[in-house]
Structure 1
Amino acid sequence: MGANPTAFISYSWDDEDHKEWVLTLASRLVENGVSVKLDRWDVLPGHSLTEFMENSVRNCNFTLAVCTPNYANRSLTRAGGVGYEQQIISAQIVSGADRSRFIPIVRSGSFNATATDCALPAHFTGIHALDFRGTVPDDKFEDLLRAIFRIPRLSPPALGRIPNFESKGGLPNLRLATLEIDGWYLNSGVVSNELHPESFFIPSESLRQSVQKTDLVKLSFELAQEPEDEGGDEELAGERMWVEITGFNGPYYVGRLRNQPLSYVYINPSDENDRFVDEDAPLKYDSEVVFLPEHILDIMTAEEAEKRA
Structure 2
Amino acid sequence: MEIPKAFISYAWESDEVKEWVKRLATELRNDGIDAKLDQWEVVPGDQMPHFMENSVRENDYVLIICTPKYKSKSEKRIGGVGYEGDIMTAEVLQTSNHRKFIPILKSGTKETSIPSWLQGKYYVDLSNQTHYDNNYADLTTTLFKARETAPKLGIKTRKANSSVSKEVFKPVSEDEPIKIKGIVIDEITQPKNDGTAGSALYKIPFELNRTPSYEWRDLFVNAWNRPPRFSSMHRPGIASAYGNQVILDGTTIEEVEKYHKDTLKLTVEVANKQIAEINLRKNK
TM-score tier (shorter): 0.5 to 0.7
Q: Which range is displaced more, 65-74 or 125-134?
A: 125-134
Alignment of 1:52-91 (within 5 A): 52-91=51-90
Paired position in structure 1 for 2:145: 150
Alignment gaps of 5+ in structure 2: 147-183, 185-205, 209-240, 245-276
Instruction: Please tell me whether residue 198 in structure 1 is matched to residue 281 in structure 2.
Output: yes
User: In the superposition, relative to structure 1, how do residues 198 and 93 fare at CA in structure 2: closer, same or farther (>3 Å)?
Assistant: same
Once superposed, which parts of structure 1, at least 4 consecutive aligned residues long, lie more than 4 Å away? 194-197
Q: Alignment RMSD, CA only?
A: 2.4
Instruction: Please tell me whether residue 92 in structure 1 is matched to residue 91 in structure 2.
Output: yes
Opposite residue 115 of structure 2, the aligned amino acid is P
Paired position in structure 2 for 1:261: none
CA shift, 1:146, in A, is 0.7
CA shift, 1:157, in A, is 2.4
CA shift, 1:126, in A, is 1.7
Counterpart CA distance in 1 for 2:120 and 2:90 is 17
Alignment of 1:168-187 (within 5 A): none
User: In the superposition, relative to structure 1, how do residues 197 and 85 fare at CA in structure 2: closer, same or farther (>3 Å)?
Assistant: same
Computing the radius of gyration over CA atoms, which structure comes out larger, 1 or 2?
A: 1
Which structure is higher in helix share?
A: 2
CA shift, 1:110, in A, is 1.4
CA shift, 1:88, in A, is 0.5
Instruction: Report % sequence identity.
Output: 36
Paired position in structure 1 for 2:46: 47
Instruction: Please tell me whether residue 109 in structure 1 is matched to residue 103 in structure 2.
Output: no
Aligned length: 161
Paired position in structure 1 for 2:121: 127
Alignment of 1:1-309 (within 5 A): 3-112=2-111, 118-135=112-129, 136-151=131-146, 152=184, 153-154=206-207, 156-158=241-243, 198-199=281-282
CA shift, 1:137, in A, is 3.6
User: In the superposition, relative to structure 1, how do residues 195 and 56 fare at CA in structure 2: closer, same or farther (>3 Å)?
Assistant: closer
Question: What's the CA shift string for 1:103-151, capped at 9, x where partnerless?
Answer: 0001011112xxxxx1011110221011111215433111110111123
Opposite residue 92 of structure 2, the aligned amino acid is I
Q: TM-score, normalised by structure 2?
A: 0.53
Question: What's the CA shift string for 1:155-187, capped at 9, x where partnerless?
Answer: 54249xxxxxxxxxxxxxxxxxxxxxxxxxxxx
Alignment gaps of 5+ in structure 1: 113-117, 160-193, 202-309
Paired position in structure 2 for 1:288: none
Paired position in structure 2 for 1:182: none
Do 2:8 and 2:36's aligned partners in 1 also have CA atoms closer than 8 Å?
yes
Do 2:125 and 2:132's aligned partners in 1 also have CA atoms closer than 8 Å?
no
Which structure is higher in strand share?
A: 1
User: In the superposition, relative to structure 1, how do residues 45 and 128 fare at CA in structure 2: closer, same or farther (>3 Å)?
Assistant: same
Counterpart CA distance in 1 for 2:35 and 2:278 is 57
Opposite residue 16 of structure 1, the aligned amino acid is D
Opposite residue 134 of structure 1, the aligned amino acid is N
Opposite residue 139 of structure 2, the aligned amino acid is L
Q: TM-score, normalised by structure 1?
A: 0.49
